[in-house]
Structure 1
Amino acid sequence: MKLKALLIAIAVVVGTVVVQAQEQMFEKFSKNNDISTVFISKALLSMAGNMDMGGANIKSLSNKLERMEIYSSENKNATALMKAEAGKIASDKSFEVLMTVKDKSDHITFYAKRNKGDSFKDLIMVINDPNECTIIRIVGTFTMEDIQGVMGDKK
């Protein structure tokens, strides 16, 4: 019984450390003057459901999101930092690769961290090209069906 309690305590501590490390990465980006940042709060995202988003049905997804963060840079040192940090996401076992796209020199990778079951809590898109890096992070609780529903039936 003591061993089980110890293992649970270790799992909680390790999980907390992983989340803190990830948050520190994004905090590091926010403090870097060579990285442009955009933060969109839950309040603004919930208002997006009432806006025309070019035919995308975002209303059903908007109230499931906590925040959206966008980080981008063309500065050589900053992009190197961002690419190194994105490499840490790639090696983090709590994230899975949903999709990769390679178009000429551009490389786009979608990473997701699942909640229990079929929902996601963290979706990160990393866009690398030789001279620029952009990372888009969407935090909330949503399913693949929610994401597919944004695009709706375009027939």
Structure 2
Amino acid sequence: MKRKIFLFATAMIIALAAGAQSPFFKKCENVKGVTTVYVSKAMLEMAGNIGGIGLKDKTLLTEKIDNTQIVTSDNAKGREFIDKHLSMITSDKEYEVLVQINDDKENVRIYRQNIGKGKSRYVVICKEPEETTVITIEGSLSLEDVARCTKR
């Protein structure tokens, strides 16, 4: 009986660790002026079963994405908090910069980190004069898939 309990507890810990939010996301939770959204694989699978979704989008939602984390703010204090803690992502040597776009009103960067077993973590950072948004997508996605996910 003890062995079964130990195996169950170990499986639960592994499952929780696999679906855990990033340290950056956790840092931003419960900060006034910052909105955080976590979408689990189960919710993405449910969304993929809604009628009217094309096969490519359904495959993307139900098979390729493990989870999505969104952190955003449209007020000065929230943007300042996010900017202050972005180094948790940008200074990590395991992330490579894939795309960097700078123009007068918008600054966009896309980072990728290999997280093993054919999966990657993509981080899209979009800074505009009135809003900062950080989107993290984990799964077995290509860069084309990430571009489809983050289109406005």
Asked if these proteins are the same fold (TM beyond 0.5), I'd say yes
Query: For residue 112 of structure 1, what is the aligned residue in structure 2?
Result: 112
* Contact preservation (8 Å) 2:73, 2:79: yes
Pairing 1:82-121 to 2, within 5 Å after superposition: 82-116=82-116, 119-121=118-120
Kindly report the root-mean-square deviation, in angstroms, between the aligned alpha carbons of the 2 structures.
2.8
User: Which residue identity does 2:86 align to in structure 1?
Assistant: A
Hey, what's the Cα distance between the residues in 2 that align with 1:56 and 1:102? 34
Q: Count residues in correspondence.
A: 127
Hey, what's the Cα distance between the residues in 2 that align with 1:101 and 1:67? 25
DSSP 3-state at the match of 1:31? coil
How far the C-alpha of 1:115 sits from its partner, in A, is 3.3
Hey, what's the Cα distance between the residues in 2 that align with 1:30 and 1:138? 17
Hey, what's the Cα distance between the residues in 2 that align with 1:37 and 1:149? 21
Query: For residue 130 of structure 1, what is the aligned residue in structure 2?
Result: 129
TM-superposition CA deviations, 1:37-89 (whole Å, max 9, x none): 22212112112333445x68222222232211111112212211211222331
Hey, what's the Cα distance between the residues in 2 that align with 1:148 and 1:121? 11
Matched, 1:42 2:18: no
* Contact preservation (8 Å) 1:38, 1:70: yes
TM-score by length of 2: 0.69
* Contact preservation (8 Å) 1:61, 1:146: no
CA gap 1:49/1:149 in 2 versus in 1, 3 angstroms: farther
User: Which residue identity does 2:37 align to in structure 1?
Assistant: V
| Residue segments in structure 1 that go unaligned for 5+ positions in a row | 1-21
| Residue segments in structure 2 that go unaligned for 5+ positions in a row | 1-20
Pairing 1:1-155 to 2, within 5 Å after superposition: 23-51=22-50, 52-53=52-53, 57-62=56-61, 63-116=63-116, 119-140=118-139, 142-144=140-142, 147=145
Hey, what's the Cα distance between the residues in 2 that align with 1:57 and 1:49? 10
Hey, what's the Cα distance between the residues in 2 that align with 1:72 and 1:149? 18
Hey, what's the Cα distance between the residues in 1 that align with 2:100 and 2:107? 7
